Chain A
């Protein structure tokens, strides 16, 4: 099992949620995981219902069986200053650089430097060992940029290595690239059973593969429960309205005759069934497309009451059940 698990996905597919659930799942049974946020949105803090995360690793949750989840929100500016401090003992000069706009330049505008710092920090955590020589974290899970940018984000080290042909950023980029392209890393893509996210997932996988980055699993998020299957839907189509009205009436929902409470439910319920059927068909199509990707496929249920901490543990349990950890 790869020790660096990168989670990407189209915007709105819930990649932060899946990343957090994965970190919890991997921490179960006494393991320690680090959940890393790179986009400064504080999505992890919101998910775990804690205050905003600082730029430091802190324990954020306990997993069943004594495991621990740590979280870190990487701030590229602070990461760069850290880094300069580590290598150059800059002291106050860091502030001068900041004032001059150099830090801003390096972390937001200089091509890829920001990304090297972000991935570099994650790779450092993957490799970090304690005094006894054991890995500090069993797994590092990264809540990564969305599918559209993931290949460039991870591959940026290559680009920077080409641009900055010597120097520490170059070396750093090379070292990071070695981890990212190895079996130590797996890039998972989160999708929904909808056309655009599925298309983007297929495109993303092709790009990742072309760049030599290891693709892990496809996680289908927010899968709606199958209340009616294809056969049921066919029967609904031929079901006489009167029978439906009578059944509803029998269930205690009022009169079945025209204008009765139960009878008035028939249209809206059939309408909703029609919408469900249209969606069901689209979902089956998208499932088939995903099936052709030839990757391990996992489905996570839609939590009808919305995401909360309990829901996160539920998803983590589901991931373990599906053999992901």
Chain B
């Protein structure tokens, strides 16, 4: 729903605010239209609308002529249904119903991490060995999604999609991690485990009679396997060893691929978008992320700030709105006591707003009050009382909105003060969830226009 934009003088007011604000505006369309942009990664903490943002960006890019694939991790059911990707088959599906007049296409898929892991195994091991791995209990737990697997598989899938080179642009959503940074670390962690020292240690019993130089390591190794065996149980360790032995030939590949994906993320064709809501925790997470991306040489395009509230009446402060509401409510009490509204120093009290003529008389100057007959006045008083009560309610609603607005702006300003270099686009809050292409398109428009109404400095 739009938040009353449009009157010229308010636009002027807003321009003033815009000039005062040091924030750089993130231009979404140039980013999406640039043929050099090949990967857009949406990251941020949970519950800030990452998936929706990713889908909206994908749709917008496709409708502007690009051939896009969106990789979502855990979309809301109805959103997935509307895009036709609610079946988990781990391959991109073409999304129907988009405007393809610019020659673009939209494909989308939902990540199935177990399936992705299985496919790696099947692609890199002979059938017999693949069967052994797939039926190994350790592998089954590992692939079913313990710490890090989902992140690793998301990056793995990204690498696969990129190497197929079928799409101009890949938009990736990142897993709802306990911390937004997990997906950068997990692949490395899993990669370094899978071809690290520990694996070689665990592998050792399967390679008895290895090189002499291994002897020293073997001492530590037997202690290691001893302890691990004790803690985890012998069977567990045996499962791990069988798994590791079966996967032996693939390990180099894991490391290579983890490295390749990491490099892909640093490449110039990649753009990271940090997604947040104007709330303290989400923006704190976003700030960490901005620093982390810089430290890793990952190219940050900017911040998408979702669910920002605006007001078409942002010149009216919360304090004044509340005072006005109280005025009306107090007047109501006086009215009730005296049975008439005469005490109120108000023009228009006798305006007979309940009558049809008055309904149509918006332009009536508030001063032109005529005397009414007694019954009409009585009626008018009732109607006015009701109008007063409703007006008071609307003013309280506005006061709440303004308080929310200034809190959001304070939170945002704190972020901007820390990271003035980060370009920001703001997306106005919607009353409900998005679950169809029209909704996504609307979000896309909002992303591209950059900035909903922001409040003036409050007096």
Q: Give A contacts to B, CB under 8 Å.
A: 10-13, 39-41, 43, 46, 84, 87-88, 90, 93, 96-97, 100-102, 104-106, 108-114, 145-146, 148, 152, 159, 162-170, 194-197, 199, 224-225, 227-228, 232, 235-236, 239-253, 255-258, 260, 263-265, 267-276, 278-279, 282, 304-307
Known: A112-B146, A242-B359, A243-B384. A271 touches B312 (CB 8 A): yes
- Closest residue of A by beta carbon distance from B150: A149
A93/B223 in contact, CB under 8 A: yes
A257/B231 in contact, CB under 8 A: no
Question: Among A168, A228, A305, A306, which residue has its beta carbon within 8 angstroms of that of B393?
Answer: A228
- Closest residue of A by beta carbon distance from B143: A111
Most buried by A among B77, B189, B197, B324: B324
Contacts of B232 in A (CB 8 A): 106, 110, 113, 164, 167, 169
Most buried by B among A10, A165, A278: A165
A269/B313 in contact, CB under 8 A: yes
The 4 closest A-B pairs by CB, nearest first: A12-B47, A11-B46, A268-B312, A167-B233
CB distance from A208 to the nearest CB of B (A): 17
A244/B233 in contact, CB under 8 A: no
A165/B390 in contact, CB under 8 A: no
Question: Among B2, B230, B394, which residue has its beta carbon within 8 angstroms of that of A167?
Answer: B230
Q: Which of B385-409 contact A (CB under 8 A)?
A: 386-398, 400-401, 403-404, 407
A199/B77 in contact, CB under 8 A: yes
Of the listed stretches B261-269, B294-302, B346-354, chain A binds B346-354
Known: A97-B227, A101-B198, A250-B344. A273 touches B353 (CB 8 A): no
B239 lies within 8 A of chain A by Cβ:
yes
- Given the complex of chains A and B, what is the CA–CA distance between A250 and B142 in angstroms? 69
Known: A163-B138, A257-B363. A305 touches B407 (CB 8 A): yes
Grouping DSSP codes into helix (H, G, I), strand (E, B) and loop, the A interface class, with mixed when no group exceeds half, is helix
B3/A271 in contact, CB under 8 A: yes
B353/A243 in contact, CB under 8 A: yes
- Given the complex of chains A and B, what is the CA–CA distance between A152 and B147 in angstroms? 11
Contacts of B145 in A (CB 8 A): 152
Most buried by A among B77, B234, B397, B401: B397
Question: Among A163, A252, A256, which residue has its beta carbon within 8 angstroms of that of B324?
Answer: A252
A167/B431 in contact, CB under 8 A: no
- Closest residue of A by beta carbon distance from B228: A102
B235/A257 in contact, CB under 8 A: no
Most buried by A among B77, B353, B396: B353
A265/B316 in contact, CB under 8 A: yes
Give chain B's interface residue range (CB within 8 Å of chain A).
35 or more
B398/A169 in contact, CB under 8 A: no
B192 lies within 8 A of chain A by Cβ:
yes
Q: Give B contacts to A, CB under 8 Å.
A: 1-4, 7, 45-48, 74, 76-78, 137-138, 141-142, 144-148, 176, 178-179, 189-190, 192-193, 196-198, 201, 220, 223-224, 227-236, 239-240, 277, 279-282, 284, 311-313, 316, 320, 323-325, 327-328, 331, 344, 346-349, 351, 353, 358-359, 361-366, 383-384, 386-398, 400-401, 403-404, 407, 411, 431-433
- Given the complex of chains A and B, what is the CA–CA distance between A253 and B320 in angstroms? 9
Question: Among A12, A245, A251, A279, which residue has its beta carbon within 8 angstroms of that of B45?
Answer: A12
A10/B46 in contact, CB under 8 A: yes
CB distance from B421 to the nearest CB of A (A): 25
CB distance from B116 to the nearest CB of A (A): 17
Known: A239-B390, A250-B349, A268-B312. A196 touches B231 (CB 8 A): no
Contacts of B189 in A (CB 8 A): 104, 108-109
- Given the complex of chains A and B, what is the CA–CA distance between A96 and B331 in angstroms? 78
- Given the complex of chains A and B, what is the CA–CA distance between A239 and B358 in angstroms? 11
A108/B353 in contact, CB under 8 A: no
Show 20 A/B contacts (Cβ-Cβ < 8 Å), sorted by A.
A13-B47, A88-B227, A96-B223, A97-B224, A109-B193, A152-B145, A164-B232, A167-B232, A196-B433, A232-B390, A240-B358, A249-B348, A249-B366, A251-B391, A252-B323, A258-B363, A269-B395, A270-B394, A272-B3, A275-B431
- Given the complex of chains A and B, what is the CA–CA distance between A39 and B361 in angstroms? 62
Contacts of A256 in B (CB 8 A): 347-348, 365-366
Contacts of B325 in A (CB 8 A): 251
Contacts of B179 in A (CB 8 A): 39-41
A275/B328 in contact, CB under 8 A: no
Question: Among A93, A196, A307, which residue has its beta carbon within 8 angstroms of that of B227?
Answer: A93
Known: A93-B227, A242-B353, A279-B431. A109 touches B388 (CB 8 A): no
- Given the complex of chains A and B, what is the CA–CA distance between A282 and B196 in angstroms? 52
Known: A105-B198, A246-B353, A251-B327. A227 touches B400 (CB 8 A): yes
Contacts of A88 in B (CB 8 A): 227, 230
Most buried by A among B282, B395, B396: B395
- Given the complex of chains A and B, what is the CA–CA distance between A39 and B411 in angstroms? 24
- Given the complex of chains A and B, what is the CA–CA distance between A122 and B81 in angstroms? 40
Question: Among B230, B391, B407, which residue has its beta carbon within 8 angstroms of that of A168?
Answer: B230
Contacts of A84 in B (CB 8 A): 227, 231
B312/A247 in contact, CB under 8 A: no
Most buried by B among A255, A272, A305: A272
Known: A163-B137, A251-B328, A282-B432. A260 touches B366 (CB 8 A): yes
- Closest residue of B by beta carbon distance from A268: B312
